[in-house]
Amino acid sequence: MRRALITGITGQDGSYLADLLLEKGYEIHGVVRRTSTLDRSRIDHLYNDPAIYRRSLFLHYAELDDPTTLRRVLLKVAPDEIYHLAGQSHVGLSFEIPESTCEMTAMGTLRLLEMIRDLPKPPRLFHAASSEMFGEPATAPQDEHTPFAPINPYGCAKAFATQMVIIYRRAFGLFGCNGIMFNHESPRRGENFVTRKICRAAAAIKLGIQNELLLGDVSAKRDWGDARDYVRGMWLALQNDQPEDFVFATGELHSVADLVEHAFATLGLDSKKYVRRDPRFMRRIEPQRLVGNPSKARSVLKWNPQTKFADLIKEMTENELSSLSLSPNSHAQL
């Protein structure tokens, strides 16, 4: 039985990765933060299953900014594979808390690399990088050779962490892979992300809970995929014979306006009646033409995204409608 350690297991990607690895017969160890609230809703189905929790799934308290706790977990677990997904991942928020974003996302990754380097048997490492590292690229689509030019603190922190993985791979022979993840969504996406906000608002308006949806720049375009496809790519990257970096993307661009239209049309609503522009939600700097070229992942890993954009947004919107219908007192985040 292979043993995997997942940082950020309670997040969208971490929870889907746990599902995938359990299906493949792994023993899974997840790193969780010790906080005053125990919100583990994305892994409740695993945590509350006595056939899984403390049998093939184990949770450990540790912090990326506390080397002692993280080192203790690594020595205790001795994993074969590490999937490093934790960190402050909200781009807009990174402008408000740039220091903690860099501390968690950049320095946290460096600390982890140092600990792995010192282990008797260094495990294989997957680091979740981001398309935000490209910022405003001169060419499109972007691939593994596109220069990093981040224009927000989150992208800058990810670029540092990604480059450090490459350095440790080359200098110390660590099996470290960077997965350059373009935007990926799912019904488990956090409510502070625009995709979830839109789908939830459409459902809330349909149910009469909410009257309008306030958004920033709806012309902004992104390469949106399904998180479940992308975690499959993470696993495939660590099964490769050699440690390499891979772009995971759909290669298709869709605007926020497209997303709004699909979400509202799913519920038979005319989005023009409910969507309003609000300057509060405009980003200081908006990345342009972020669209990925996943040809390397296709040829080397035999990876292909399986979910279409329209189907993903439809699923997310219907999930929000079902959730809000069961909890009629809930209110969508504006």
d(CA 217, CA 232): 31
The answer to whether 1 and 26 have CB atoms below 8 angstroms apart is: yes
89 catalytic per annotation? no
The catalytic position among 89, 130, 131, 186 is: 130
154 catalytic per annotation? yes
The catalytic position among 132, 185, 261, 320 is: 132
132 catalytic per annotation? yes
> Which of 78, 69, 80 has the alpha carbon at shortest distance from 31?
69
Binning the chain into helix, strand and coil, the percentages to the nearest 5 are 45, 15, 40
Residue with tokens 């807009």: 92
The answer to whether 43 and 71 have CB atoms below 8 angstroms apart is: no
d(CA 146, CA 263): 33
Residue with tokens 């995204």: 305
Q: How far is CA 8 from the centre of its chain?
A: 9
Half-sphere exposure of 276 (CA within 13 A, CB side): 10
The catalytic position among 83, 154, 230, 274 is: 154
Scanning the chain, the segments in alpha helix (DSSP H) are 12-23, 44-47, 67-77, 91-96, 98-102, 108-118, 153-172, 194-206, 227-239, 256-266, 295-301, 309-326
What is residue 30's three-state secondary structure? strand
Residues with a known catalytic role? 130, 132, 154
